[in-house]
Amino acid sequence: MDILKYTPEHDEFRERLKTFLAKKVTPNVDQWEKDHIVPKKVWRKFGKAGFLCTAISEEYGGMGGDFLYSVIVAQELSYTVHSGLAAALHSDVVVPYIDAFGSKDQKAKYLPGCVSGKIITAIAMTEPDAGSDLSAMTTTAVEDGDNVIINGSKTFISNGINCDLVILAAADPTVENKHQAISLYLLEADTPGFKRGKQLDKMGWNSQDTAELFFSDCCIPKTCRLGDSGSGFLQLMMKLQQERLVCAMGAVFAAERIMEFVIDYCKTTMINGKPLTRSQAVQFAIVEMTTKVKLGKTFMEKLCVDHMEGKNVVIDTSMAKYWTTDMVNEIAEQGMDLCGESALLESNPIARAKRDVRVMSIFAGTNEIMKGISAKFMGL
């Protein structure tokens, strides 16, 4: 029995998405990988077609769909084998902060553009000296009458070049408790004092515009704050369940794509007149790898159901995030071993997949952090 129950409406959405990706995305992926960015016009087309922010209510231009639409988007995008059109980051990680914590005016101002693709979002937490430890944050937010003055820098920000709107985590230096000092702010890209740094030349995620961001006396009104002052850390914690579930989804779907290629390669590559799959060693390796992927998918899909039912599965999603992202790295490594020298060629999707999956065990909280969180709540 299938864990996820798709309706005819879900199926119709999937087919429309497949058609869109086949026409507008897949043929251009190799060029975007070379350019290290996806054109903003593609985001607008993606949004206009109804594939961004599917959970946002009709009041703000969305479809008010359930989380299964997010699963479908993540799964179908995995077939394009690229990371630049980071729909899951925008739709399921960043925009939910506005939807959950934004005022009515903030929602009316920003959500329609997020849905249509006219507004591309980024979330800025990581700093040069503060990654998983938010309490070490040094970017400051100082109140000045009706305004807030932002100073500091962020790094490794996905959508950093393309973003029109940044959800920025910054701390009030006058508050002694580091966690209670953090607030989230909505900062538009044309704000004076905001500057994009260089686009980072990194291993993998070549079509993703990851960049440094700098804030020098950025003056924004207090009305740009999301929720109450000092509530930022709690807001971040409240949204980590979905963020880590999205990471697990990405890992599982990437592993499935790797296995599809590896199995096809081993079936069609001949050694001494016989396909590689006639070798018992290759057979056992493929069976073991496929088993891991199926286990990860079952775990992930069960958590999707729990999440949609409103259950608190923060610990489970932390476990899923670390296990599935470790798993996909193992699958990519074993896939390269099975495919041999050909897997090192840029024309081979395994090469790109190997680079792209490596960071999954690092972002959204390192896997060591995930294990530490789980251990704490297990009373260890």
Count of domains observed in the chain: 3
Task: Tell me which of 76, 212, 243, 256 is the catalytic residue.
Answer: 243
What's 240's domain CATH number? 1.20.140.10
Query: Do 151 and 215 lie in a common domain?
Result: yes
Query: Do 53 and 18 lie in a common domain?
Result: yes
What is residue 294's predicted lDDT score, i.e. its pLDDT? Answer: 98
- Asked if residue 58 is part of any domain, the answer here is yes
What Cα–Cα distance (Å) separates residue 13 from each residue in 6, 23, 212, 297? 10, 16, 35, 21
Query: Do 257 and 365 lie in a common domain?
Result: yes
Domain's final residue, options 84, 119, 154: 119
- Asked if residue 252 is part of any domain, the answer here is yes
Query: Do 373 and 269 lie in a common domain?
Result: yes
- Asked if residue 3 is part of any domain, the answer here is no
Largest pairwise CA distance in the chain:
79
What is residue 131's predicted lDDT score, i.e. its pLDDT? Answer: 66
What Cα–Cα distance (Å) separates residue 375 from each residue in 131, 295, 308, 364, 380? 20, 22, 25, 18, 5
Q: Classify the C-alpha dihedral 289-292-298-301 as positive or negative.
A: negative
- Asked if residue 339 is part of any domain, the answer here is yes
Q: Per the confidence metrics, is the pTM higher than 0.75?
A: yes
Q: Classify the C-alpha dihedral 176-180-182-186 as positive or negative.
A: negative
Query: Do 264 and 311 lie in a common domain?
Result: yes
Query: Do 194 and 330 lie in a common domain?
Result: no
Q: Is 243 a catalytic residue?
A: yes
Query: Do 237 and 373 lie in a common domain?
Result: yes
Q: Compute mean pLDDT per 10 residues along the chain, 380 residues long, and list them.
A: 93 98 97 96 97 97 97 97 95 97 97 98 90 81 94 95 97 90 96 94 93 96 95 91 96 98 94 93 97 98 97 94 98 95 87 94 91 90
What is residue 227's predicted lDDT score, i.e. its pLDDT? Answer: 94
Which domain, by its residues, includes 142?
Answer: 123-230
- Asked if residue 242 is part of any domain, the answer here is yes
